[in-house]
Amino acid sequence: MRKWALPSVLLLLILLSTLPDQGRKIQANAEESDGDDLVDPPKIEEKIGAVPHGLSTDSDVAKRETESISRKSLRNNAEKFEFQAEVSRLMDIIINSLYSNKDIFLRELISNASDALDKIRFLSLTDKEILGEGDNAKLEIMIKLDKENKVLSIRDRGIGMTKEDLIKNLGTIAKSGTSAFVEKMQTGGDLNLIGQFGVGFYSVYLVADYVEVISKHNDDKQYVWESKADGAFAISEDTWNEPLGRGTEIRLHLRDEAKEYLDEFKLKDLVKKYSEFINFPIYLWASKEVDVEVPTDEESSDEEETSEATTSEEEEEVEEDGEKKKKTKTVKETTYEWEVLNDVKAIWLRSPKEVTDEEYTKFYHSIAKDFSEEKPLAWSHFTAEGDVEFKAVLFVPPKAPHDLYESYYNSNKSNLKLYVRRVFISDEFDELLPKYLSFLMGLVDSDTLPLNVSREMLQQHNSLKTIKKKLIRKALDMIRKIADEDPDEDPDESSDKDKTDSVSENDEKKGSYAKFWNEFGKSIKLGIIEDAQNRNRLAKLLRFESSKSEGKLTSLDQYISRMKPGQKDIFYLTGTSKEQLEKSPFLEKLTKKNYEVIFFTDPVDEYLMQYLMDYEDKKFQNVSKEGLNLGKDSKIKDLKESFKELTKWWKDALSAENVDSVKISNRLDNTPCVVVTSKYGWSANMEKIMQSQTLSDASKQAYMRGKRVLEINPRHPIVKELQERVAANPEDESIKQTARLMYQTALMESGFMLSDPKDFATRIYSSVKASLDISQDAAVEEEDETEEPEAEEKEPASTKETDEDTIKEETQEDTHFKDEL
């Protein structure tokens, strides 16, 4: 059935697209009334302050419109229409469904206004007179509030709509995605998809129960479209509102539960979030308190003067030219003015050569909401062309968020914002960047992505795969550039006084990749685990310390450049700290032969090396596992033969310890023995990591534990002595105890956890007794258990004397009181 579902939906959409765009026109049966009997038209607002651009009306018109607002009914003399059946269903769903995100309506209205302004600007390129003069020539979007009447107004000076446009555009829903949207709503799908199916304008009914659209096109008269979302809308010629000149004004009569959209700060936040980078200025008619000097009333009473003084009003008396000026006071006065909300420019639309470093830094602080003065570590500004065209700006933050890895696999939120034609769509598309690059900040703006699709459709859109591929490549190039620009700390170069200029230029870049690695190095390692396609490119970005790095970070390329002739493998060792690894017995022969060993001390490194098998045709070799090849040793065969009896006897002595075998070691120098694991099993460090997991199951982990192999040093005096004693008396129990003690000691030194610490401690104490010539049968001296009678606690003399004095004083007071009576 699923195979036929998508073709069926597509066929339904094609059939719907053949329907006429214009809704059926049904003339209302209401009788025509005389002009005196006309229902008064509604008005959006009273005159607030000095409203610019001629938005005020006379008092008679204001009175009629105020009365009409309370009615919120369609005008009787207006030409009435019915929405298409599909639109009616959709509006019913929008109004009667619960939405967790109603903010989307403002984004849609501003986007529509921006489109209208784009159209008139395009037409003005060939006909400059189409813009008109004065205020009409200003391409801007204005938002105004009327808190008293609960009206929100959005006005633009765009191309406007004719009567036919109003019927066509507002009476017919966008064809693309209509059926899918209706099905999604009726089947109880994600109710946050409003605004992404091309329903745009109809999202206003999430917050409004009555909507007026006033529009003026250069080729037609000014008309008013109005609807209560009850299945019908009306259009009439506008003869009562002030002339718009050109453009469209949408008045939303808000529902009681949508009063939050009458808050200036709420609107500012929404514009900043969704429409911050619209090409045209967005103004809000905002209130502002200013200090104003006003004359004081000299005849006012003392009480009034006192009260005015308490309100921090300042009075001044100034003498000038021998005459006293009138006293003045400073008072707070609320004024209104147009405040621009989108002052941050869309720098990604410009050429990277034209944008300065300061502009990039300011833009980063804007999108990241970072109010510190730190600059981003790097940025990449590029334009992609081809099958999918988009522009993008990526930033590497100076610091990692505190919870970057705590919710790594659970968070869907991305720091990369998706814009379509400069309109914010979402930051929850984890398909744009893989999770290991989720620390990057930035945005992607595409003109080719369909705006009228749902999130699920957009995630499955083929264009996203292309965008993701290009973003990953650019992001890795940006990070690699940080590494390349970080100068090598070569003492010869740093001491060269002739290169002071180049050194000063690199001062800021010096150590920048080390800073990046300390903040985001774990993300690169996770990328190697998760992204097989870019594994080799990510491996070049790896940094670590080694036995020869002298406390500095080094790379795989630098390691390979220092490899000894004939060395085929890259040697590494995992553990909890560098200090612990430097003392590891596994390094003895490697250090002696001048081999370099990489130190991996992050728990994620164990998982990393399960995926990073090789690099530049060099295999990775864990020096704590079997298979270590340090070149040919001509004496190894003779040693194996001469110690054959000892290794066999030792394996039998450790039959209870689950030891796979006992072998002659080629990696030891000063240590008598060490325990290694099989090549494809867990290392000792990995075993500890897995055992420390909260929900670990020891029974299920047994098959992943590597086989333990005891490697002995045939040149060590302890091993030689043990060989001689075994040859003399292989059944000597003390020798077997010594062999088991050496194995348990080697386990601890090799990084394993003992399964029976008590047994190990007992053997240590036995060994201590032997070294002190104490008999193994010597018993612990028993404690004398005779109970002593508890001694009575004697009260201190000073305390006793104090109590007696107190009693004496109280008695004297009682006697004196009786005498008085």
pLDDT tens digit sequence for 393-413: 999 999 988 878 877 776 666
Instruction: Name, in order, each residue with C-beta under 8 angstroms of 697's C-beta and a sequence gap of 6 or more.
Output: none
Residue at token pair 């670990």: 696
Angle between helix axes 512-530 and 462-485 (nearest 10 degrees) is 140
Cβ neighbour number for residue 293 with a 10 Å cutoff: 10
**pLDDT tens per residue, range 767-799:** 888 888 888 888 888 877 666 665 555 555 544
- Position 278 scores a pLDDT of 83
Element of type H or E holding 290:
strand 282-295
Alpha-carbon distance values, 503 to 509, 510, 514 (Å): 10, 9, 18
- Position 112 scores a pLDDT of 85
Please name the amino acid found at residue 659: V
Span 131-142, mean pLDDT?
85
- Position 173 scores a pLDDT of 54
Q: Reply yes or no on whether the pLDDT at 515 is more than 50.
A: yes
Q: Cα(349)–Cα(393) distance, rounded to whole angstroms? A: 10
How does the average pLDDT of the chain come out, rounded?
76
User: In this structure, are residues 601 and 576 in contact, taking their beta carbons and an 8 Å threshold?
Assistant: yes
Span 696-707, mean pLDDT?
70
- Position 197 scores a pLDDT of 38
Tokens of 659: 């030891």
Round to the nearest angstrom and report the end-to-end CA distance of the chain: 111
**pLDDT tens per residue, range 601-633:** 999 999 999 999 999 999 999 999 988 888 777
What is the total residue count of the chain?
821
- Position 175 scores a pLDDT of 39
Residue at token pair 């250069």: 218
Alpha-carbon distance values, 731 to 39, 657, 726 (Å): 117, 18, 8
Q: Reply yes or no on whether the pLDDT at 75 is more than 80.
A: no
- Position 809 scores a pLDDT of 54
Span 182-204, mean pLDDT?
52
Span 25-35, mean pLDDT?
38
Span 209-216, mean pLDDT?
90
- Position 42 scores a pLDDT of 42
Residue at token pair 């990449």: 380
Strands 569-574 and 618-622: parallel
Residue 26's pLDDT band (boundaries 50, 70, 90)?
A: very low
Instruction: Name, in order, each residue with C-beta under 8 angstroms of 557's C-beta and a sequence gap of 6 or more.
Output: 540, 616
Tokens of 809: 């004083």
- Position 85 scores a pLDDT of 55
Span 122-147, mean pLDDT?
86
